Structure 1
Amino acid sequence: MATLPTVTITYCSQCNWLLRAGWMAQELLSSFSTDLAAVTLVPGTGGIYQISVDGQLIWDRKTDGGFPDAAVLKQRLRDICFPDRSLGHIDKAKSNPETPSA
């Protein structure tokens, strides 16, 4: 049996980004549910906001320019862990970039 992926969200506690990290964890768990082993929140300092899956960085606030949109983060996680999986309306919006988003 394959090991399920673990997502780690490291957030700056000095910047009060716990709620943002918790919301992102909730979004990932809502979409991927029992396909994930865990989503772990790790407090840090110095403006850090990084998201990794099994140690592979998939979002860094400083290099990616801010905070991820939930849809973008779900796509990055899916592309690494579940490449054949459809994300439904999220994928449809990605395939038709001229469609205005709500």
Structure 2
Amino acid sequence: MTTRQPRLEIEYCTQCRWLLRAGWTAQELLTTFTVELGEVALIPGTGGVFDVRLDGETVWSRAEQGGFPDLAELKRAVRDRVAPGRDLGHTDRRRPS
């Protein structure tokens, strides 16, 4: 089976029951980046992990950044890698001050 590129991975903690959060995050990213993402994978993990990686590069790590990613911030980070210069509409205009 061939992996479609770019591949976005969301590794989530099964012990913490974060599958729904990972699924929701995946859904939001797939809805925003309908043609830019080749695939999104949900990867079960343990130990409080919630990491988002794009082609092996960490975009968000709960251990490093603390907590969960703000969805608008995560969308901008993914956009900067898969569709630089693309306007994300209200997501770009609602930056925290």
The percent identity for this pair of structures is 51
For residues 23 and 88 of structure 2, the distance between their equivalents in structure 1, rounded to whole angstroms, comes to 21
| Number of positions where the alignment pairs a residue of Structure 1 with one of Structure 2 | 94
CA RMSD of aligned residues (A): 1.2
Flag the structure with larger Rg.
1
**Secondary structure, counterpart of 2:67 in structure 1:** coil
Following superposition, the deviation at residue 4 of structure 1 comes to: 3.4
Is 1:86 matched up with 2:87?
yes
Residue equivalent to 2:40: 39
Alignment of 1:12-91 (within 5 A): 12-91=13-92
Q: Distance in 2 between matches of 1:34 and 1:78?
A: 12
TM-score in terms of structure 1 length:
0.86
- For the residues of structure 2 that align with 1:63 and 1:53, how far apart are their CA atoms? 16
| Structure 2 letter corresponding to 1:86 | D
Higher helix share: 1
| Structure 2 residues not aligned, in runs of 5+ | none
Secondary structure of the residue aligned to 1:80 is helix
